Structure 1
Amino acid sequence: METNRWRGCLSLWLGLIIVAVLVMLPVGKAAAHHDAAHTAKMKELDSASEALYRYMQDGDGAKAQLEMDRVVKIVQTLSFQGLTSVEGIHALSETIMDTREALARSQSQPEEWRITSSRLRLAIDSLLHNEQPLWTQYYKLFTDDLSQLSKARTEEDVTGVKQAFNQLKEHYETIRPAAVIQLDPSLISRTDSWMSYMENLCAQKTSDPDALKGALGSGTDLIHDLFGKKRTEPTLLPITGTSNPWKWSLLIGGWIIVALTYTGIRNYNAYQEVRPVTGSKGRSTWRF
């Protein structure tokens, strides 16, 4: 009787396990099917955005409009869960709307087509590719812009400062939606604030060299954070902004020579005071 009871319990447990497997199996198949469909949509969106970018860069409005419609259709059915934040979705939506409006206007504005299509292409790529997105390739352009700004500031070239900042601003506005999709909103807010501050400084008729120097210093660190680069360690750089930098170079060189000479003399005197003494087993010890 006891054996029959155990057999009954065992049969009950096996039945429950089989039912659970049968119930979960369709769910697993449905989830796999959903993932496959989602992946296919992402690939199609990537392809459509790339084609849209190419046609708008070439000025082919008819083909660009077809790809624009395809992009909008895919985005409307795409699940953004796990892809980006609320801020990222908003940035992507704004970029799509700006591109559609630019495309709807006359083809006599190729520069607007170029900028908006680039911005949308980078944004969609950022949404689909977490590792090595295209927008991070703008890092070299940003560092070049900062170098031009620094050079114009040193030379007190007000026009050059404005031109360099306008170039930096255009590059930032191009990658901003893509950066919002991937980065922490607080970092984007800091960058926006810095860009606004720089714009006010560069718009002045007479530049403030000291204020610009401080802003460029903090901006360099901010750009490194924006692109995920390590902040550079402080190094000895040529002194700029002086009437004769060669005097400073010679002075610094003279200080280095004096320091090395002093160190050498001390080492030589110390060596003369040291005498080797042979120990009991032939090992040399040192007496000071």
Structure 2
Amino acid sequence: MTGKHNRRRLHIGMTVILLLPLLGGCGLMKSQHQQANQSVHQPSEQQRQQVKLLNETAEELYQRMQKGDVDGGRVVLQQISDQVTQLPFEGVTSVEGMNAFTETISQAKRVLTSVSADPGAGQVAAAKIRLAADALTHTSQPMWLQFYKQLQDDVDAVEQSAKTGNRSGLQDKVQHLEQHYSTVHPSLVISRPAEDVEKMDSLLTFVKSQSFGQQAPFRNVANAVPPMRQMLDKLFMKRETTAYLPYPEQQNPILWTIGLGSFILAALGFAGWRLSKKNGGLVPVRRGDESEYRQRS
């Protein structure tokens, strides 16, 4: 038995010795891969200057539209479009962020080139571009963080309308929430993981579909409010949270109970994993009056 035990220990020891170089190599490869990713995601000095110029041009567009100078706004918007085509986005934002920014510019062009250009719609379009350009420039303290209270107030108003059972009032509050959220949406896509933004998009789509649907929407909308608040907290870096989708009322209570139990277990497991990976959040720094860039209802 002793000889057999010694042979087993020798076998384990040899296995460990053989695995150590492989493990070290894997660690080295992982370290090199991380360093490569970090170098890829660091914008060059030329990119920083281009983004800075883009941000300044976006500010000029916003100021012109605030003054009602639609013709001047068209000229500046074309300058922004030209600057974007010359800006390599790799290292500045994700593919989703790049697409969101270019689509925002396209939407603004459609608004400003309309025969009967609406100055109010032009101001909103300019605000979206202004916030998006600032998100590219100031990755840690972007101006769109100042919209947190506005969106939370909108969610509170939606919840209150759902509690009172006022369908027309609920639809009105949901539209306000959608309008304000759309103002910062391009900036969110630029600054935050796409999956987090998609979760918030899904929640808002769910609430809107329920509010304008045929059946009584109030309980389902009320169920959606807590996860909406949690996702806003996560997107605005207020605190770590586990986001989940709201659930509509089910016809079969037994199946719903089983499904809910499974969901809770999955959510708890995901929350435990998030806690093990938890990092410190960002502290927003305000620059200017948030109301200046807030869309008027």
TM-score, length basis structure 1? 0.65
Q: 1:187 aligns with which of 196, 202, 210?
A: 196
Distance (whole Å) between structure 1 residues aligned to residue 60 and residue 115 of structure 2: 20
1:95 aligns with 2:95: no
Partner of 2:40: none
Partner of 1:83: 92
Distance 1:65 1:210, change over 3 A: closer
Deviation string for 1:182-208 (max 9, x for gaps)? 111111111111111000111135533
Partner of 1:66: 75
Which secondary structure does the structure 1 equivalent of 2:213 belong to? Answer: coil
Aligned letter for 1:52? L
TM-score, length basis structure 2? 0.63
Which secondary structure does the structure 1 equivalent of 2:90 belong to? Answer: coil
Q: 2:238 aligns with which of 229, 246, 251?
A: 229
Is 2:50–2:87's contact at 8 Å kept on the other side of the alignment? yes
Is 1:61–1:107's contact at 8 Å kept on the other side of the alignment? no
1:192-211 equivalences in 2 (<5 Å): 192-204=201-213, 207-211=216-220
Partner of 1:146: 155
1:56 aligns with 2:65: yes
1:115 aligns with 2:100: no
Structure 2 residues not aligned, in runs of 5+:
1-42, 242-297
Tell me whether 34-43 or 182-191 shows the greater mean CA deviation: 34-43
Per the TM alignment, residue 131 of structure 1 is displaced from its structure 2 partner at its CA by 1.3
1:39 aligns with 2:53: no
Distance (whole Å) between structure 2 residues aligned to residue 184 and residue 60 of structure 1: 36
Distance 1:160 1:231, change over 3 A: farther
Per the TM alignment, residue 35 of structure 1 is displaced from its structure 2 partner at its CA by 4.8
1:158 aligns with 2:173: no
Aligned letter for 1:173? S
Is 2:70–2:119's contact at 8 Å kept on the other side of the alignment? no
Is 2:111–2:117's contact at 8 Å kept on the other side of the alignment? no
Is 2:200–2:231's contact at 8 Å kept on the other side of the alignment? yes
Distance (whole Å) between structure 1 residues aligned to residue 218 and residue 44 of structure 2: 56
Is 1:59–1:107's contact at 8 Å kept on the other side of the alignment? no
Distance 1:38 1:226, change over 3 A: closer
Which secondary structure does the structure 1 equivalent of 2:141 belong to? Answer: coil
Q: Which runs of 4+ in 1 moved over 6 A?
A: none
Partner of 1:132: 141
Which secondary structure does the structure 1 equivalent of 2:126 belong to? Answer: helix
1:245-260 equivalences in 2 (<5 Å): none
Distance (whole Å) between structure 1 residues aligned to residue 171 and residue 137 of structure 2: 35
Partner of 2:225: 216
Tell me whether 57-66 or 119-128 shows the greater mean CA deviation: 57-66
Give me the CA root mean square deviation. Answer: 1.9
Aligned length: 199
Distance (whole Å) between structure 2 residues aligned to residue 134 and residue 226 of structure 1: 13
Distance (whole Å) between structure 2 residues aligned to residue 42 and residue 222 of structure 1: 29
Partner of 1:259: none
Per the TM alignment, residue 37 of structure 1 is displaced from its structure 2 partner at its CA by 3.8
Which secondary structure does the structure 1 equivalent of 2:237 belong to? Answer: coil
Distance (whole Å) between structure 2 residues aligned to residue 126 and residue 202 of structure 1: 32
Which secondary structure does the structure 1 equivalent of 2:59 belong to? Answer: helix
Distance (whole Å) between structure 2 residues aligned to residue 193 and residue 35 of structure 1: 35
Distance (whole Å) between structure 1 residues aligned to residue 226 and residue 46 of structure 2: 48
Q: Which has the higher contact order (CA 8 A, sep 6+)?
A: 2
Per the TM alignment, residue 44 of structure 1 is displaced from its structure 2 partner at its CA by 1.5
Distance (whole Å) between structure 2 residues aligned to residue 58 and residue 207 of structure 1: 44
Structure 1 residues not aligned, in runs of 5+:
1-33, 233-288
Distance (whole Å) between structure 1 residues aligned to residue 131 and residue 182 of structure 2: 11
Is 1:158–1:205's contact at 8 Å kept on the other side of the alignment? no
